[in-house]
Amino acid sequence: MTSHVSLLTATDARSHIHLVVGSNPLAAARCGQSLSAGASPILIVPETAELHYALQKRIDDGEVKWIKEAFRDEHLFTLGREEVDHIVDAVFVTSGPREPLSAHVSSICKRNRIPVNVVDAPQLCTFSLLSTHVDGPLQIGITTNGRGCKLASRIRREVAASLPPNLGSACLRLGDVRRKIQEEDHLLHMALADGDDIDDSIDQSASFNKLVTEADLDAAKNRRMRWLSQICEYWPLKRLAAITDEDVANILRSYEDLGSANSIGQSASANNIASRGRIILAGSGPGHPDMLTRATHKAIQFADLILADKLVPAGVLDLIPRRTPVHIARKFPGNADAAQNELQEMAIAGVREGKTVLRLKQGDPYIYGRGGEEVEYFRQHGLGDKVVVLPGVTSALSAPLFAAIPPTQRDVADQVLVCTGTGKKGKAPTPPEYVASRTVVFLMALHRISGLVEELTTHLETETASLKVEGSADFGVGNANTKPRRALWPRNTPCAVIERASCPDQRVIRTTLDRVVEAIEQEGSRPPGLLVVGRACEFLNKLEKGRAWSVEEGFRGLDFALDGLDLGSA
């Protein structure tokens, strides 16, 4: 039998009227839950009933109103709020499914669309209460949909135990920051230009990391809100839970001075101190901490200051000793260059103070990590001999492996091409030509997936224009039958979107070039991600006939044990 899935909602029950039928300990618990949600519980039980002591105390304290009579149908339609014609807002029956009253109350409530909950009787309920962890404004609810309430409680405890302390306080603080930004930037009804921060029930939209140009005035108006959104998405939960007033001040601080600020730390002039400083550029791999090189792990343990890109995952940042200061790049669409300059200036300041500064990047520093630019920058500032570059496992090659895609495969693919989907300043790069035996991995491409697919499958205006010029020069007239030389990718070419590779929430979307745009728009965004294109994508995982795409959730690539060693437990 196929089990149903409930629609989970959060109800604002302030001022609601809840009827509680029964006098047992569960009735006392239901009254307590109702009160904690801001509702007013009314107890329906005859005066002769023996009340649980907790119920009696709440009645004596004036928290619970007691109607001293047996349940009657008219209670449902006369005890509620005036603004809803005196119909009660919810009913809790605590006497169990064997009592005839339980089925009767359930039937009349269902007929009149009044939410009803009957203990241990899912078939009589229109709603159920979740096993809930509460930490300030943060609520986490678990349900097994009537298949085992004790298991739901166990899962809730496990989930709550895995969370860092003070996360609820962080929610409060970040909520205050959000409201303050809205007030100061006059964006009272728009958290982002595309509304990404409106609803808790959805993942990031496909436009979460969309390209923002310097000329985009709307983006300039809400750049602080975009930064706050990026913090909530990328900062490790432990870091968010420990957010300080200084962090809040940095979020609220204007970015106008970042690009032109004087180099930080120029006053540190002691040569003997500066001589001990150094800069380490290190790649942190695709995401899973077990993918770190030993050299990078040592650098993390012994660095005096760590400057991390925002995409470095929580599992890696958790390895940083508590004593080590960490600064996470304030990069978001439209602010990348300013944030990059800020990190570089902080690195120089650290070196001049004699510190070992670790620039921690995702993947490999030299594979679209701007590592070469940073080395050049430090050389220009006389620190070339202070720079050490450590390699990392690039997601361009590891992500396909974790998605069961062999980029090279005999008789299928004999070459691999790694490309960027976005050039400098957002300019579209030259698209690669189609080669049947080639696998192409596109990094930094998903935010402009529609444009990329069009460029791969159709000729560019510049290609056709240059061809006309060549024809005119060679023959004196254009040759209408001549076509651009670049071979186009067939629209039915298999491809795969791999997001958060090797992280617990890894996701793989398998589809084709003609459907990948629709798939991303419908499934949403889970950055960082990449696109793999080529026949190798379907060698081990072919789409079922008639399906436009498939979605695979979770990472299990390291789930194996060897002599008691579980490499997937990090």
Concatenated DSSP letters for 421-486?
A: SS-GGGPPPPPPPP-TTEEEEEES-GGGHHHHHHHHHS--HHHHHHHHHHHHHHHSS--TT---SS
Q: Is 94 helix (H, G, I), strand (E, B) or coil?
A: coil
Q: Which two tokens stand for residue 557?
A: 């690539």
Comparing 501 with 225, the larger pLDDT belongs to 501
Confidence check: pLDDT of 27 > 90: yes
**Taken in order 516, 517, 523, 525, is the CA torsion positive or negative?**
positive
Which stretch of DSSP H or E encloses residue 498? strand 494-499
pLDDT at 385: 93
CA distance 495 to 549: 10
Residue whose token pair is 């001549």:
482
Of the candidate ranges 27-41, 201-215, 375-389, the one whose mean pLDDT is the lowest: 201-215
Nearest to residue 251, comparing CAs of 235, 231, 270? 231
Cα distances from 414 to residues 17, 358, 419, 473, 536, in angstroms, run 69, 37, 17, 38, 10
CA distance 328 to 325: 10
Percent over 90 (pLDDT), the chain = 59
pLDDT at 293: 95
Confidence check: pLDDT of 197 > 70: no
Q: Which two tokens stand for residue 491?
A: 């629209």
Report yes or no on whether pTM surpasses 0.85: no
3-state helix, strand, coil in the chain (%, to 5): 35, 15, 45
Confidence check: pLDDT of 432 > 50: yes
pLDDT at 529: 93
pLDDT tens for 105-139 read: 999 999 999 999 999 888 999 999 998 999 999 99
> In the 3-class helix/strand/coil scheme, how is 346-372 assigned residue by residue?
HHHHHHHCCCEEEEEECECCCCCCCHH
Residue whose token pair is 């008691």:
564
Residue whose token pair is 């306080």:
169
In sequence order, which residues have a C-beta less than 8 Å from that of residue 199 and are 6 or more positions away?
A: none
pLDDT tens for 39-71 read: 999 999 999 999 999 899 999 999 999 999 999
pLDDT at 4: 78
pLDDT at 265: 36
Cβ-in-10-Å burial (0-12, 13-18, 19+) of 240 comes to buried
Cα distances from 491 to residues 84, 535, 568, in angstroms, run 56, 12, 37
Strands 438-443 and 529-533: antiparallel
Q: Which two tokens stand for residue 539?
A: 């060698």
Structural contact between residues 281 and 388, judged by C-beta atoms closer than 8 angstroms: yes
> In the 3-class helix/strand/coil scheme, how is 106-161 assigned residue by residue?
HHHHHHCCCCEEECCCHHHCCCCCCEEEEECCEEEEECCCCCCHHHHHHHHHHHHH
The CA-based angle 187-188-193, given to 5 degrees, is 40
DSSP state of 338: H
pLDDT at 480: 52
DSSP state of 204: B
pLDDT at 488: 95
pLDDT tens for 454-474 read: 999 999 888 877 666 655 555
Which stretch of DSSP H or E encloses residue 325? none
Q: Quote the mean pLDDT of the chain.
A: 85
pLDDT at 190: 45
Confidence check: pLDDT of 257 > 50: no
Structural contact between residues 417 and 439, judged by C-beta atoms closer than 8 angstroms: yes
Comparing 438 with 189, the larger pLDDT belongs to 438
Residue whose token pair is 């004999």:
414
Report, as an integer, the average pLDDT of 156-165: 90
Confidence of residue 259 (pLDDT cuts 50, 70, 90): very low
CA distance 419 to 403: 19
pLDDT at 276: 79
pLDDT at 184: 74
pLDDT tens for 478-509 read: 455 566 789 999 999 999 999 999 998 899 99
Report, as an integer, the average pLDDT of 374-379: 95
Comparing 336 with 177, the larger pLDDT belongs to 177
Percent over 70 (pLDDT), the chain = 82
pLDDT at 462: 81
Of the candidate ranges 11-15, 174-178, 203-207, the one whose mean pLDDT is the lowest: 203-207
Confidence check: pLDDT of 28 > 90: yes
Strands 561-562 and 565-566: antiparallel
CA distance 101 to 70: 10
Which stretch of DSSP H or E encloses residue 562? strand 561-562
Residue whose token pair is 């491409």:
445
pLDDT tens for 306-343 read: 999 988 888 899 999 988 999 988 776 666 778 889 99
Other C-beta atoms within 10 Å of 36: how many? 11
> In the 3-class helix/strand/coil scheme, how is 257-316 assigned residue by residue?
CCCCCCCCCCCCCCHHHHCCCEEEEEECECCCHHHCCHHHHHHHHHCCEEEECCCCCHHH
Dmax over CA atoms of the chain, in Å, equals 108
Cα distances from 476 to residues 77, 118, 273, 472, 479, in angstroms, run 90, 87, 70, 5, 9
pLDDT at 198: 52
